[in-house]
Structure 1
Amino acid sequence: MLTKYSANPCDVKKYTTSQLRDEFLIDDLFVKSEVKVVYSHIDRAVALGICPIDEPLILEEWIDNKSFGTAFFLERRELGLTCLSGKVRVTIDAQTYDLNAMDALYVGLGSRNISIEKLEGDATIYGLSAPAHKSLPTKLIPQHEAREVKLGALETANQRTIYQYLHPDVIETCQLCMGITHLAAGSVWNTMPAHTHERRMEAYVYFNIKPEQTVFHMMGEPTETRHIIVRDRQLVLSPSWSIHSGCGTQNYSFVWGMLGENQTFDDMDFIPMDTLA
């Protein structure tokens, strides 16, 4: 398990490019036939990259529960899973759920005996876990049941479709929110005008980025902005004090996930464009 600690914004101002990448970017989350686990001290988020090939991957065999001080991974946590590609079967306490690409699964506190097996194609699952205070039902959310929101315009290069899966209007969770954003052809900007939300951290997994393309992920305090070069299926951890925006050399997609004090989606501190620096 890789552990990432919280970073002070005053220190981040002095980081080199390599330090910035080491602190906030995970560039090897998805490895064939493995479960990669990243524990972040930013709101105690846990990110998972799960890539089954020949045999099912059993979460408990890849997670050292001593690191969490619990008997099993979700004893005091909830988990969201999104299928980025292929088709997989998730088995939880003998109950099975089949996920196609762009489907999601909410796994409630207390769930155990979790395994993921490949059914078709390049099976790639991304997971995000948050501390939880009560047990809620596990539920499969196919893409067509997600809340669909269309925003932006081609004129501002940010026309996009947002699918909200783990969202108060779709399913009850303790604190975890997750969704997927797809930018339209010809659009490259996400989350502009930029904002922060002091009460929630956010994690981005970028995907659908072609090998010859890239995304510039913008972060930092509004008057001390930095950027990280991001490529396909890489994860960026964004602390609550940081903006989290991006501009690609072509359109792309990303999974966004949030956890923290609330689930109020309009609880954002927008940054006027003329004050960014």
Structure 2
Amino acid sequence: MENRYATNPTDMKFYTTERLRKEYLVESMFVNGEIRLVHTHQDRVILGGVVPTDYALKIEAPDTTRTSFFLERREMAVMNVGPSGSVIVDGTAYFLESKDCLYIGQGQREVFFQSDDSSNPAHFYLFSTIAHRTCPTRKISPRDVEPTWNGDAREFNNRSVYNYIHADGVQSCELMMGLTVPQPGSNWLTMPPHLHDRRMEVYFYFGLDEDARIFHFLGRPEETRHMVVCNEQAVISPPWSIHSSVGTNSYYLIWAMAGENNCYTDVDKVDIRTLR
């Protein structure tokens, strides 16, 4: 498991492109037959990708956590972004099609990942946070969630948001997760941007063509930077940073957060005229 330390805005404004990508971009997440994890000291989040092929893969506690099993002091959300597969939690199998999500509560001892077809394997994206209480394990599908509509076609930011795990949805200790779907002709997300100093966030992009790119904006509003992002890559966004993006063609976004509260609407809006 890769370990990344927290950063601060004073230092970040001096980063080169290479340093920005090293600190905030997670590139090679999905490798056949492997579980790849990244631990960030931003709220001690662990994110990663799982691609089971010939046999089921079990997630183990890394040395970083010093626990006897992965979810001893953690909770986790898993979303399938590829072909169908199953997540087996303490002997109970949960079948996940593309864009289905599984919340797994703290204290579950064994979690396995399995593809339906080893030659066309599932791609499981996972996001795990510290937890101090147990909430029930729940499967969530897009059809189970009433989307909210944000943005405006005139501003090229019209999008539907499927809030899966949050204060008014599936319950968790502190983890939040959802799916955002930009509508045709609207390739901007979270513009105008916002901040939430109480929570960190990870943006995971998928469904993007091989020759297409995402331009992800980060940093303080008065000192922004950007990174060029490919399909099935993630960006770690500290609580002090904006997080906004535009794609060269259609794509999907999984947003996931951890921090002081789990209120999706608790944000501090940024006036677009102040961006630099």
Q: Please, what TM-score do these two structures have when normalized by structure 2? A: 0.97
Asked if 1 retains the 8 angstrom alpha-carbon contact of 2:166 and 2:264, the reply is no
- Equivalent residue letter for 2:69: F
- Does the aligned pair in 1 maintain the 2:181–2:252 contact within 8 Å? yes
Give yes or no for contact 1:148–1:161 (8 Å, CA) kept in 2. yes
Instruction: Give the distance between the partners of 1:160 and 1:181, measured in 2 at CA.
Output: 7
Q: How far does residue 197 in structure 1 lie from its aligned partner after superposition? A: 0.3
Q: CA deviation at 1:266?
A: 2.3
The one-letter amino acid of 1:50's match is V
Contact 2:167/2:264 (<8 A) preserved: no
- What are the equivalent positions in structure 2 for 1:38-117 lying under 5 Å apart? 38-60=38-60, 63-64=61-62, 66-117=63-114
Q: Is the CA contact 1:80–1:127 (under 8 Å) kept in the aligned structure 2? A: yes
* Number of residues of Structure 1 aligned to a counterpart in Structure 2: 274
> Deviation digits for residues 141-197 of structure 1, max 9, x if unmatched?
122112411222221111111111112222110000001111112111000111110
The answer for the alignment partner of 2:145 in structure 1 is: 146
Deviation per residue, 1:220-247 (Å, 9 max, x gap): 0000000010010001000000000001
TM-score by length of 1: 0.96
Cα distance, 1:79–1:6 mapped onto 2, change above 3 Å: same
Aligned letter for 1:94?
G
Could you say if the C-alpha distance between residues 122 and 158 of structure 1 is closer, same or farther in structure 2, counting changes exceeding 3 Å? farther
Report the 3-state secondary structure (helix = DSSP H, G, I; strand = E; otherwise coil) of the residue aligned with 2:123.
strand
The gaps in structure 1 that reach 5 residues or longer are none
Q: Secondary structure at the match of 1:247?
A: strand
Q: 1:2 Cα shift?
A: 0.3
Q: What is the distance in 1 between the residues matched to 2:263 and 2:87?
A: 30
Match of 1:165 in 2: 164
Q: Which residue of 2 aligns with 1:27?
A: 27
Structure 1 position 203 matched with structure 2 position 187: no
Q: Is the 8 A contact 1:182 1:254 kept in 2?
A: yes
Stretch deviating more after TM superposition (220-229 or 148-157)? 148-157
Contact kept in structure 2, 1:150 and 1:162, CA below 8 Å: yes
- 1:117-196 alignment, distance < 5 Å: 117-120=114-117, 121-196=120-195
CA distance in 1, matches of 2:265, 2:58: 37
For 2:128, give the aligned amino acid.
S
Query: What is the aligned partner in structure 1 of residue 7 from structure 2?
Result: 7
Contact 1:163 1:179 survives alignment (8 Å)? yes
Q: How far off its partner does 1:23 sit?
A: 0.5
- The alpha-carbon deviation at position 248 of structure 1 amounts to 1.1
Percent identity of equivalent pairs: 39
Give, as a single letter, the amino acid of the residue that structure 2 aligns with 1:8.
N
Amino acid at match of 1:84: V
The letter of the residue matching 2:154 is: E
Shift of residue 122, structure 1, vs aligned partner? 3.7
How many Å separate the matches in 1 of 2:109 and 2:147? Answer: 31
Given that 1:147 and 1:165 are in contact with CA atoms closer than 8 Å, whether structure 2 keeps it comes out as no
Q: Is the 8 A contact 1:187 1:250 kept in 2?
A: no
Alpha-carbon shift at residue 265 of structure 1 (Å)? 2.1
User: Counterpart amino acid of 1:103?
Assistant: D
For residues 90-138 of structure 1, the C-alpha deviation after alignment (integer angstroms, 9 at most, x for no partner) is: 1111111111111000000000111010014441010000001111111
